[in-house]
Structure 1
Amino acid sequence: MTDTPAHAAGRAARIPGSKSITNRALLLAAAATGTSRLRSPLVSADTVAFRTALENLGCRVERQSHDQVWEVTGAGCGPTGDAHVWCEDAGTAARFLPPFVATGHGRFVFDGSAQLRARPLGPLAETLTALGGTVTTGPSGGLPMTVGADGLDGGAITVDSSLSSQFLSGLLMAAPLMRSPVAFTVDSLVSRPYIAMTLALMRRFGAKVTERPGDVIEVQPGGYGSATLTVEPDASTASYVFAAATVTGTTVTVPGLGRGSLQGDLRFVDVLRRLGARVQVTESATVVAGDGRLRGGFSVDMGEISDTFMTLAAIAPLADAPITVRGIAHARLKESDRIAAVAQNLRALGVDTDEGRDWITIHPGSPLGTRIACRRDHRIGMAFSVLGLRVPGITLDDPSCVGKTFPGFHEELRRLFPPTSRPASPLRQGSR
């Protein structure tokens, strides 16, 4: 990402903390010796579910300053005892917590919503078994998962990361608690920036990690120490206000999200540059300015920033030529089949859309207002709300789905882009 001049700072968006950083930091703090302080954590359905799960496993989390600071007291090891852990819809809880408990002692049962039960866990269960754990999964290879824990051995292991990088992140974070060093050979890694984030946070909490040629990551035993961490604004969530500025011809600044960010999804602003937006990334903030006109006619691989592909796809009909997004097969295994969900909603809007296993092409069009099928997926709801800033009559069948990562999303979108300055609200009348 290189800086280019943008407009004056414009309005400052109030973007909540990163979900990915918050939940990783929670786990690392729970595994550490001593008390850690997490400043500006994300408070949302997913992070509260993760925090509650850790509390059920015996971790103490003290909330201070109206949830602006969480103090986490860890035991320096995996949990001991028996517990039932409810993950709700949180994929990070279902992927990060089983390796953590497997380093402890006891019997732990994980379960979650029907939506979460549909998400795969097979590669994680296979790897935990190879490391010495006792694991059973539900009939479809997902939740409910039972872990019989008596510590993990470590050693050399190959991790299939073709479906989700979260499998590898969960195993990496548990590795310093294993009995011997672990050498992970990574096979078919998707969403690589999230692994870089995991490793950076592990080092922040004192882990000894070495990256070797050939996608090999070596982790030494020795546990974690406590740390103090300020959680950055969520770059995936920021993609919606950056896209909104692009399509409405305005300027938005996200303070606290700049050079040195741990989050790969900040690279979404590079895609907006291709659409014609002006972008400035400084040490302390990112500014995006649009003029309301979108340049299409390109193909972009968003495999490493797939949580933002829906943001692009939702506004792509406003471009002057087709746009193809590729490299996103793993997005079919998220909260919803996100390629199918985007294609279905664009077609309902009257937009010509083509799709394949790992790609989608959106053609220019004149979208007509319709009811968006969110599929209980927060990113579908937020992405099409941005299109609603330009297209009258777009409504959401489930406005509250945004609470998974940004409970105040609709209010913040109205504040930044008030109804008097745009054609229509993306909300159903009277909904919150």
Structure 2
Amino acid sequence: MAPNTADTALWPAPHASGAVDATVHVPGSKSVTNRALVLASLASEPGWLRRPLRSRDTLLMAGALRAMGIEIEEGVGPDGTGEAWRVIPSDLRGPAAVDVGNAGTVMRFLPPVSALADGPVRFDGDPRSYERPLNGVIDALRQLGARIDDDGRGALPMTVHGNGALEGGTVAVDASSSSQFVSALLLSGPRFNQGVEVRHTGATLPSMPHIRMTVDMLRAVGAQVDTPESGGEPNVWRVSPGALLGRDLVVEPDLSNAQPFLAAALVTGGKVVVPDWPSRTTQPGDRLREIFTEMGGSCELTEYGLVFTGSGSIHGIDVDLGEVGELTPGIAAVAALADSPSTLRGVAHLRLHETDRLAALTKEINELGGDVTETADGLHIRPRRLHGGIFHTYDDHRMATAGAIIGLAVEGVQIENVATTAKTLPDFPDLWTGMLGA
């Protein structure tokens, strides 16, 4: 398919003329929205999802579930206020066709769901989705009794031949390349005849907060989950079989998507308020409060939300981002503007994300005059005076927002395909220029 010329057009990243002072209402969490859609679809009764994120990834998830027979009504909440989705579960069915786009949550969370469908479910997606690892889910489902045709690729495209149920039981999976392999099996586990016991066999496990999010959300809809944190074996999670409850869930703001706006306060020495920042959350983006404070900012969590203030100085950082890898592009962008070097560690798995994020960040920052080198598991960034130029995104939403952060301090930065931000952050250009008062 030929690229849309509007998508590939260059977007002049706005240059900040002074300190920002803005309140930014960040849309809902993609990670919460897509997990909630899966759990509501597997429940024994209808449920509500309030303030859901409407983005490419979440609309792909909703579309895929609808294709398998789930009814998802879009409207206002049960109290008549605010956008909400009503999810009405039904028997899952095939034949169905699922377009995953390039959404990791869709391509990994839905094969276990489709194994419960009565009929075949075909999975396909963007060209990049063929390169992203899926073998952990495919191999695990085969161990649990599912029949999958993938021509031996361990990747898309593929067909899951559902027969209305899955026996479940104990399964070994190497989730070193993505914690989503574990979450995928846990989310559908309550509907397996024996539940599921997931044993992670790899040497490392990235993005643990996302597994904690999955566990918390399962427990909130009535599932019984045993975890390493609750006294279980290390690297073993158990979900008992049982019915899931329909809930009325309010989706938190996406804290990872708040990153560029907080970075703007840091880069310009200004202030940004993000309303409704939760006081307790499993979202990885909550680590930004700690990381960006260490890099020169200060924050206060109030009843209204998070108030983040930059000091006018940006300091380098040496940090392990293994649990919060998705924050790496934005942190790298800020680090390129700092007053001392930075080392970002623990993120070798980013080479398998929407693009090879380590290679992409290195290339794009260096082409603006930076000095970034890849390490075995991250990046080393030595700040230099940067200049304008084209910042390529590789169809990766977090590359686009990283380029926008640099553009605040560097005149003449042009973002190629800023429209890719619609994957998780619709209307990003308007939110960005609104923050700057344009």
**Pair in the same fold by TM > 0.5:** yes
Q: Cα offset for 1:12?
A: 1.7
Higher mean Cα deviation, 136-145 or 380-389?
136-145
Query: Is 1:242–1:269's contact at 8 Å kept on the other side of the alignment?
Result: no
Query: Is 2:252–2:278's contact at 8 Å kept on the other side of the alignment?
Result: no
Q: Cα offset for 1:343?
A: 0.3
Q: Does 1:343 align with 2:343?
A: no
Q: Does 1:260 align with 2:280?
A: yes
C-alpha distance in 1 between matches for 2:391 and 2:82: 33
Task: Return 5+ residue gaps in structure 2 as ranges.
Answer: 1-19
Q: Cα offset for 1:393?
A: 0.4
C-alpha distance in 1 between matches for 2:181 and 2:235: 15
State the SS of the aligned residue for 1:61. Answer: strand
AA in 2 matched with 1:195: I
Summarize deviations over 1:260-303 as a string: whole Å, max 9, x none.
1231221022111111100123455222100221112x310011
AA in 1 matched with 2:314: L
C-alpha distance in 2 between matches for 1:271 and 1:369: 27
AA in 2 matched with 1:178: F
User: What does 1:4-23 correspond to in 2, within 5 Å?
Assistant: 11-23=22-34
Could you tell me which of 227, 249, 266 is aligned with 2:269? 249
AA in 2 matched with 1:388: G
Identity value in percent: 37
Q: Does 1:121 align with 2:141?
A: no
Q: Cα offset for 1:154?
A: 1.8
C-alpha distance in 1 between matches for 2:303 and 2:129: 37
Q: Cα offset for 1:315?
A: 1.7
What residue in structure 1 maps to residue 322 of structure 2?
A: 303
What residue in structure 1 maps to residue 109 of structure 2?
A: 96
Query: Is 1:268–1:305's contact at 8 Å kept on the other side of the alignment?
Result: no
Q: Cα offset for 1:314?
A: 1.0
Higher mean Cα deviation, 372-381 or 404-413?
404-413
Could you tell me which of 137, 142, 164 is aligned with 2:150? 137
Q: Does 1:36 align with 2:64?
A: no
What residue in structure 1 maps to residue 180 of structure 2?
A: 166
Higher mean Cα deviation, 183-192 or 298-307?
183-192
C-alpha distance in 1 between matches for 2:134 and 2:199: 19
Q: Does 1:153 align with 2:167?
A: yes
AA in 1 matched with 2:271: T
Task: Return 5+ residue gaps in structure 1 as ranges.
Answer: 1-8, 420-432
What residue in structure 2 maps to residue 410 of structure 1?
A: 429
Could you tell me which of 56, 74, 86 is aligned with 1:71? 86
What residue in structure 2 maps to residue 399 of structure 1?
A: 418
Query: Is 1:258–1:284's contact at 8 Å kept on the other side of the alignment?
Result: no
Change beyond 3 A, Cα 1:395–1:37? same
What residue in structure 2 maps to residue 81 of structure 1?
A: 94
Change beyond 3 A, Cα 1:260–1:142? same
C-alpha distance in 1 between matches for 2:187 and 2:166: 13
Structure of higher RCO (CA pairs closer than 8 Å, 6+ residues apart): 2
State the SS of the aligned residue for 2:349. Answer: helix
Higher mean Cα deviation, 392-401 or 210-219?
210-219
What residue in structure 1 maps to residue 376 of structure 2?
A: 357
Could you tell me which of 211, 223, 233 is aligned with 1:195? 211
What residue in structure 1 maps to residue 309 of structure 2?
A: 289
Q: Cα offset for 1:153?
A: 1.6
What residue in structure 2 maps to residue 25 of structure 1?
A: 36
C-alpha distance in 2 between matches for 1:347 and 1:192: 31
State the SS of the aligned residue for 2:429. Answer: helix
State the SS of the aligned residue for 2:160. Answer: strand
C-alpha distance in 1 between matches for 2:290 and 2:151: 41
C-alpha distance in 1 between matches for 2:136 and 2:238: 19
AA in 2 matched with 1:336: T
C-alpha distance in 1 between matches for 2:155 and 2:417: 26
State the SS of the aligned residue for 2:260. Answer: helix
State the SS of the aligned residue for 1:410. Answer: helix
C-alpha distance in 2 between matches for 1:181 and 1:398: 43
Change beyond 3 A, Cα 1:170–1:343? same
Q: Does 1:312 align with 2:331?
A: yes
Query: Is 1:372–1:397's contact at 8 Å kept on the other side of the alignment?
Result: yes
Could you tell me which of 189, 197, 220 is aligned with 1:204? 220
AA in 1 matched with 2:195: P
C-alpha distance in 2 between matches for 1:262 and 1:38: 18
Q: Cα offset for 1:123?
A: 1.2
AA in 1 matched with 2:84: V
AA in 2 matched with 1:157: V
User: What's the Cα RMSD here?
Assistant: 1.6
C-alpha distance in 1 between matches for 2:45 and 2:35: 17
Q: Cα offset for 1:139?
A: 5.7
Summarize deviations over 1:363-410 as a string: whole Å, max 9, x none.
111110010010010100011101111110001111111111112111
TM-score in terms of structure 1 length: 0.91
C-alpha distance in 2 between matches for 1:10 and 1:220: 49
State the SS of the aligned residue for 2:136. Answer: helix
